[in-house]
Amino acid sequence: MRTFLSATFAVLRSAAMPRAMLALENAALRQQLAVYLRNETRPRLKPGDRAFWVLLRRLWSGWASTLVIVKPATVIAWHRKGFRALWRRKSKTGRPRIPMKHIHFIKRMSSDHPEWGEDKIAEELAAKFGIHHSGSTIRKYMVPRGRKPHGDQTWRTFVSNHAHELWACDFLVQYTAGFTVVYVFVVMEIATRRIVHFNVTKSPTLAWVKQQFREATPWGQHPRFIVHDNDGIFGQYRPRLTVEQEDGTKGSYRCHLDRWLHEVMGIKGLPIPYGAPNASPYIERFVRTLREEALSHFIFLNVGHIRRVVAAYVSYYNGARPSQAIHGIPAPYPELRRLPPPDGNLTALPVLGGIHHDYRLVA
C-alpha cells in the first residue's frame, strides 16, 4: 500500500513540474535503475508492487515499454490470478441455507427410512408441511448411508441370525518329515467357536467326509446349516443338479455332499461362492490359528504324530483358550466354570510341551 501511495504522489508531483525538470528526473531515475539491474540478484516484489503494476496496466497502454524488473507476461498472470481469486470467492456463497428446522425434518426422515430417496422426502414435506425444496437440496442434508438398501438380507446378517444352528468345515494340508501329504479336517460351531470334530487322513474321499459328519453328530444333534467351500472331494456338479423331492418340491445342489446332507441327515449344505474364502471367515481363521500356534512348531514324523498334536491343541482351544470373537472360552473345563479362589496362586499348565500355557488360580 505504501508503494502504491508513493507512486501516486510521484505522478501528481510530476504533473506539476516543468517539462525540462521532468526530463532530467526521468534520466536520473533511469540511470539508477540501470545500475540496479546490473546486480544478478532478482528483486522480491511485495503484493503492493504487484497491485501497482496490475492497476497501471489498466490505466496506461504503454506500461510494457517501461517495465524492466519483470516480464510483461508476469504482470498479466498476476491480473488473471487476481481475477480467478475474486470470482472463486464470489462463487462460494452458493444458494442460501435452508432453515435449520427443515434440515432436522430431512435428517429425521432419512434416518427413520433409509430406503427413501430425495424425491420421496420432497413429496412428504410438500404434501404434509407445505415445505418445498428441490431434490438436490434434500440430498445435501440427508443422513449418509453406506450402501443402497435392498430387500434380501446380507450374508453377514444371515450368519448372525443363524449362528446357533450353523456349522462350518474345512480342510488344511500338513506335510511330514518324509514329505507325505496329510489332510486335517475340522468342523466348527459358529456361535460358540467350538471345534465339534476333527480327523486326519492321507487320502480323503467323499465317503470318508460323510463318515466324519456321522461321527460329529453321534446322538442326532446336528445343525440346520453347514458352510463349506467348493473342494473337489465333495463331488462337484457341473452344472448344478436339480432333483425333485418326495414332497413335490425341487432341490438344487452344487455338489453331491449337499444332496447327501439334505436327503440323509436333514442338513442344508451352503457352499460359499467360488474364490470367496471370506464368506467362511471363522473356520478360515481357526485354520490359520491352528497352523501358527501348533503345527508350525513341529516336524511331524507320521499321521499319528499330527493327530496327537491337533487333538491336544483342539482340547486346549475348546476348554482353556479365550476367544476374542466371543470374549470367552468356547467350552471351558469344569474347573474353569467355577469361581477361582480369592487368594489363589498363579500356576501354568503346559500345553504342547510348553508352547502354550493354561493359566489357573489354585488354592
Same-domain pairing of 66 and 126: no
Q: b/e for 284-299, b at 16 or more Cβ within 10 A?
A: bebbeebeebbbeebe
Residue 140: its pLDDT value, please?
A: 87
Same-domain pairing of 287 and 163: yes
Same-domain pairing of 181 and 277: yes
Same-domain pairing of 233 and 124: no
How does pLDDT run across 120-144, given as a tens digit for each residue? Answer: 888 888 888 888 888 888 888 898 8
How does pLDDT run across 213-222, given as a tens digit for each residue? Answer: 999 998 878 8
Task: Give the other-Cβ count within 10 Å of 322's Cβ.
Answer: 11
Domain boundary among 292, 313, 339: 292
> β-strand 166-175 against 181-189: which pairing, if any?
antiparallel
Same-domain pairing of 120 and 182: no
Q: Which domain holds residue 117?
A: 100-141
Mean of pLDDT values over 229-233: 92
Residue 359 lies in a domain: no
Residue 33: its pLDDT value, please?
A: 63
d(CA 53, CA 69): 11
Residue 43: its pLDDT value, please?
A: 67
Mean of pLDDT values over 61-88: 75
d(CA 83, CA 268): 70
Domain count of the fold of the chain: 3
Out of 97-101, 107-111, 226-230, 245-249, least confident range: 245-249
Residue 348 lies in a domain: no
User: What does each C-alpha distance from 144 to 103, 109, 275 come to in angstroms?
Assistant: 14, 12, 31
Same-domain pairing of 206 and 134: no
User: What predicted TM-score, i.e. pTM, was given to this entire model?
Assistant: 0.60
Residue 215 lies in a domain: yes
Spatial contact of 259 and 266, defined as CB atoms under 8 Å apart: no
Residue 146 lies in a domain: no
How does pLDDT run across 154-201, given as a tens digit for each residue? Answer: 888 888 888 999 999 999 999 999 999 999 999 999 999 999 999 999
Residue 37: its pLDDT value, please?
A: 63
